[in-house]
Amino acid sequence: MGFLDGFMQGFKNNQSNKEIVDMYHEINELDTNYRDKAFNNATSKNGWYKCPKCGKNFRKSEIDIDHIVPKSQGGDNSRYNLQLLCYHCNRSKQADTSDTSSDLKKRRNELNQQDKEDLNFLNNISKNSRR
């Protein structure tokens, strides 16, 4: 189910827009392909992704998915634990956890901002559809 399908389903059931955003994320968490999940929860500027470590822009084919908390140390495939890094930065990081705390905080802030934007988008749609 895509985002708009979820929105329409929730709209028919009179769910709040916040519940619809949460429902979308719950559905997304069921996705076992962590690469797709990471890209679905990343911000792209016309197909370009910015590596948070080096600050350079890369195309999707030039990006790796990094587990902020490495899987070898109990990290999971949740959207909060996945970040996009360029090949070089990901290879350099390996299983280093020295930046884990700041990376997790930054990722949480990015996702909270995305959720806010999604909620504003849905609020605008539902406000306009009631007119």
What does the pLDDT look like over 68-111, one tens digit per residue?
Answer: 999 889 999 999 999 999 999 999 998 888 999 999 999 999 99
- Does residue 21 or residue 41 have the better pLDDT? 41
Residue 117 domain-assigned (yes or no): yes
Domain count for the chain: 1
All residues at 6 or more sequence positions from 45 whose CB lies less than 8 Å from its CB, including other chains: 57
Give me the pLDDT at residue 4, please: 58
Residue 12 domain-assigned (yes or no): no
Query: Over 70: is that where the pLDDT of 113 sits?
Result: yes
CATH code of residue 116: 1.10.30
Name the residue with tokens 């990015």. 110
Residue 84 domain-assigned (yes or no): yes
Buried b (16+ CB within 10 A) or exposed e, 97-112: eeeeeebeeebeebee
- Does residue 48 or residue 28 have the better pLDDT? 48
Query: Over 70: is that where the pLDDT of 20 sits?
Result: yes
| Cα(58)–Cα(22) distance, integer angstroms | 29
Give me the pLDDT at residue 30, please: 67
pLDDT level of residue 61 (50, 70, 90 thresholds): very high
| Cα(76)–Cα(74) distance, integer angstroms | 6
> What is the average pLDDT score of the chain?
84
Residue 5 domain-assigned (yes or no): no
**Domain around 69:** 33-129
Residue 20 domain-assigned (yes or no): no
Give me the pLDDT at residue 51, please: 95
